Chain A
Amino acid sequence: MTYQLTVGVEVHVELETKTKMFCGCLNEPFGSRPNILVCPVCYGLPGALPLLNKEAIAMVVRFGRAIHATIPTETFWERKSYFYPDLPKGYQLSQSVAPLVQGGVIVIDGAEHHLHHAHLEEDAGKLMHAPDKTHSLVNFNRAGVPLLEIVTEPDFHSAESVKRFCQELQRIMRSLKISSADMEKGQMRCEANISVSKSGELGTKVEVKNINSFRGVRKAIQYEFERQTQALEAGETIIAETRTWNDPESKTVAMRSKETSADYRYFPEPDLPIVRIEDGVGGGHLLPEDQRRELVALGIKNELVQPVIDKGYFDLLKGVQALKPEMVAEAAKTLITFSGPTDVETLIQFIELKAENGWTNETAKEVLAQAETKGLVEASASFMSTLDLEPIVKTVIDENSKPVADYKSGKTAAFQALVGQVMAKTQGRANIQKVREELERQLND
């Protein structure tokens, strides 16, 4: 009998709103001088009151609608009490009874992953511990940054599927313009609840925190699976505990046992009103899965589908499809090769010019580089097939008697070398098709 791995994940995503969740401070926690982006509210001064950030709520509703979750008609915030030096008020404004997103499903290449819920809360500040352990410093710039906590059902059974889920979440956050969800920057943080068992029932839950890369997600879960399997094989009991992922050493380390659960004493935040969510707000967004399905249907090569979405070219291709449906596949290839042009008309024009003039990729790149300052029309003018090829081809034939002789004796490979010589002499400006024609004409004279 084999051991079964079961994983549920909690993913925290920092929303890229203009201001913090409950005050007017700028939401730019990265690279700012410590304790600059603070005010009486996010610093927890006596008498200060929180204010709801509508933009953050709208973002989360957008996410919820996109993943077909239930959005409650009314939601509210609660105080989650615990003491920690990075938590200014001694409680975090969070949601437990009426989270903004309830249920929901994320589909990745046909496989469904179910969410338990997602709620909107505030981030805490950041602690910095002196290496010699003499003191710790607190930076409150991050305190009050809007944070979306996404909690899945325990429905993952491989480390790879969790990693792919996290990557997909990042794509969703980016495509809905909610967050860059950069794990390295801590904009997206992942915690995995892992259990291993033989019986088909869930085993003892072990929580692994502090995973800060996609690779780490896979490695941490795989490590835990192996560690717990070995322990069970050896007849040991798994302890319900919280472990931390030590990335440099590629292992999990026990942090604290979970024998007693923390009591956060949630109760409704009396400083904030109840929020009513209108019907139809925040709908109509395509998820990466929908985009993948559409692109495949448009005839775009499988290996180009995900890169096209990840680079944000989906809408551009839809634009091409509307104007020149036959050009969509070529447009996808062009975008991935050249990373542009990024407006529909120029893209179509570029594809047409490239075909007409027979530009090589190198030539096309040069045209695009020049187009940045001059515009495409002017840039392409000097790469048009108006060169008088006859004397150039003649010179090349005169200077390359050996390949010419080889070609004439039936070695067709020599022809390509001659084409290359002509292209070199024209600095790549010649239409390669025209070069071939002129070469053939003169060689067969």
Chain B
Amino acid sequence: MRDTLNAFLHPDLEPIVSGNGPLSGLNLVVKDNIAVQDWPLSAASKILDGYISPYDATVIKKLRAAGVTLSGKTNLDEFAMGSSTENSAYGVTKNPWNTELVAGGSSGGSAAAVAAGLCDVALGSDTGGSIRQPAAFCGVTGFKPTYGSVSRYGLIALAPSYDVIGPIARTAAEVEKVFAVIAGQDPLDQTTIDYTYEPTAVDFAKLRVGLPTDLWRLDIDPEVKEANQRFVDWLKAKGATVVDVTLPTAPQALNAYCIILPAETSANLARFDGIRFQKKAVTEPETLLDRYRRTKALFGAEVKRRILIGTYALSVGHYDAYYQLAVTIQGQVIREFEDAFQSVDVIINPTTPTPAFKIGEKANDPVAMYQCDLLTVPADLGLVPAISLPVGFTKSGLPIGGQITAAQTKDNLVLALAKAFQAETDFHTKKPSGDFHG
């Protein structure tokens, strides 16, 4: 598919129509770090330029069986490393609400394609917020399921401890339809759990809502905070009990994430060594070291940065101070979520500290860029389900996302609450103006 936002990669791909099934007629696009047989799989990296996947990811197999139409592959930060799609080797994806702004990332292409009306549903992957943050920036609904409820087989690894595939759509109802199909244990992924999706309904009289003070008091844009406060007010008006909860370690989650992710990724990316994924044969003889050098030089700057950080964090003499400490922090994050969900059913907080920002604004400040994930990363380390849904707009007309988090495997509650909100509000129905077809 061709578009004016650079949401799509490989624009010449012909849609693949599957047979009849519960999702027949659904136009679905796929983040280009998920394998579709006989389609290119680039992870938006030069290093995979020309690579065609010989097999389907498990989620793609399931979606084909359910009858979807696969209509294209979407842009992302290279190997899903980033929060703005600016790290794509194939250029930034623009935000359909304002093309001067980023669409978010790393699933920026997927979120922008949904927002621009170029597809019904998009698959994204979330490791630190890569589904929810671009969904918030683009005014759509993005769902990160419980870790292990969806197979990762065929997803190019970023941080396998947290990676999870999830749907992005305009409505929570569409997200739910796709999630119900892709969820479940996979014999090809031994980290998947025994899980079947069963929808539920929200009983507001019994619903206990927690507001994590440790996250709400962080540096959050006032307009974003306000819109989320109105979301909380709506919950109160519906009869839910709203209380404060503590997640004292949650603000540290991003620090731990910035160690564990590079550590895992430094090993994940070692396989791109120019031995088996060579685009075309080199005619000039070269030594093995030259081959490695020439190949690895194809990685972008952010990827190189994370490989270096991860290699350092795992090295003798640094392992305990960095990697082991980060793992300990993650354990604490998991326990604090478990404790919190003893007293509340869901946790509400803004998805992002700010609305979408200008292209280039944070491109040279990696730490500022990492801060985009401050409010989304805790759910990844906690392995719990979380959704971002539109809860308002800024005065300048930019969408604002709110986040609902629940305990592990309570994906149905997250989706049910999002559906209930969307049944009574119209933020998710607003569309950016313009035609984004290319």
Contact = CB atoms under 8 A, between A and B. Distances in A.
A40 B51 CA distance: 14
A338 interface: no
B81 interface: no
Contact of A43 (B155, B264, B266, B276): B276
Nearest to B55: A40
A298 B270 CA distance: 58
B275 interface: yes
Interface in B255-288: 263-264, 266-267, 269-271, 273, 275-277, 285, 288
B160 interface: yes
B270 A83 contact: yes
Contacts of A83: 270, 273, 292
A57 B434 CA distance: 59
Contacts of B155: 47
Interface residues of B, number: 44
A4 to B, nearest CB: 32
Contacts of A267: 263-264, 267, 314, 319, 323
Contacts of B154: 47-48
Contacts of A46: 35, 41, 43, 48, 51, 53, 156, 271, 277
Nearest to A85: B275
A51 to B, nearest CB: 6
A89 B188 contact: no
Interface stretch (A159-167, A270-278, A355-363, A380-388): A270-278
Given A45-B55, A90-B273, A91-B267, A265 B156 contact: no
Q: Is the interface of A mostly helix, strand, loop or mixed?
A: loop
Given A88-B271, A91-B267, A134 B190 contact: no
Interface in A271-314: 271-273
Nearest to A271: B160
A405 interface: no
A81 B312 CA distance: 13
A47 B157 contact: yes
A47 B153 contact: yes
Contacts of A88: 271, 276
A44 interface: yes
Interface string A232-274: 0000000000000000000000000000000101110011110
B153 A49 contact: yes
Interface string A356-385: 000000000000000000000000000000
A83 B273 CA distance: 8
Contacts of B41: 46-47
Contacts of B292: 83
Contacts of B264: 267, 270
B14 interface: no
Interface string B158-169: 011100000000
Interface in A58-108: 79, 81, 83, 85, 88-91
A329 interface: no
B190 A49 contact: yes
A265 B322 CA distance: 13
A44 to B, nearest CB: 5
B152 interface: yes
A49 B316 contact: no
A150 B418 CA distance: 55
A272 B152 CA distance: 12
Nearest to B51: A46
B273 A263 contact: no
Interface string B320-349: 000100000000000000000000000000
A202 interface: no
A26 interface: no
A16 B280 CA distance: 37
Nearest to B43: A46
Which of A49, A81, A273 lies at the interface centre, i.e. has the most chain B CB atoms within 10 A of its CB? A49
B270 to A, nearest CB: 2
Nearest to B317: A263
A90 B307 CA distance: 13
B54 interface: yes
Contacts of A79: 267
A97 to B, nearest CB: 11
B267 A81 contact: yes
A222 B42 CA distance: 55
A296 to B, nearest CB: 47
A85 B273 CA distance: 8
Contact of A90 (B35, B53, B189, B270): B270
B191 interface: yes
B161 to A, nearest CB: 4
Interface in A16-62: 40, 43-52
A49 B152 contact: yes
A138 interface: yes
A170 B156 CA distance: 41
B191 A272 contact: yes
B394 interface: no
B315 interface: yes
Interface in A138-177: 138
A370 B16 CA distance: 67
Interface in B296-328: 311, 314-316, 319, 323
B23 interface: no
B313 to A, nearest CB: 9
Contacts of A263: 315-316
B245 interface: no
Which of A45, A83, A266 lies at the interface centre, i.e. has the most chain B CB atoms within 10 A of its CB? A45
B381 interface: no
Interface string B403-430: 0000000000000000000000000000
B190 A52 contact: yes
Which of B43, B270, B311 lies at the interface centre, i.e. has the most chain A CB atoms within 10 A of its CB? B270
Contacts of A265: 266-267, 311, 314-315, 319
A201 to B, nearest CB: 26
Nearest to B34: A47
B87 to A, nearest CB: 17
Contacts of B152: 47, 49
Nearest to A125: B275
B259 to A, nearest CB: 11
B48 A51 contact: no
B150 to A, nearest CB: 13
Given A46-B35, A47-B153, 12 more contacts: A44-B276, A47-B155, A47-B157, A50-B190, A51-B187, A85-B288, A91-B270, A267-B264, A267-B319, A270-B159, A270-B264, A272-B190
In order of increasing CB-CB distance, the 8 nearest A-B pairs are: A90-B270, A265-B314, A270-B160, A270-B161, A47-B154, A44-B271, A46-B156, A47-B35
Interface of A: 40, 43-52, 79, 81, 83, 85, 88-91, 134-135, 138, 263, 265-267, 270-273
6 contacts: A47-B57, A49-B191, A83-B270, A271-B157, A271-B160, A273-B191
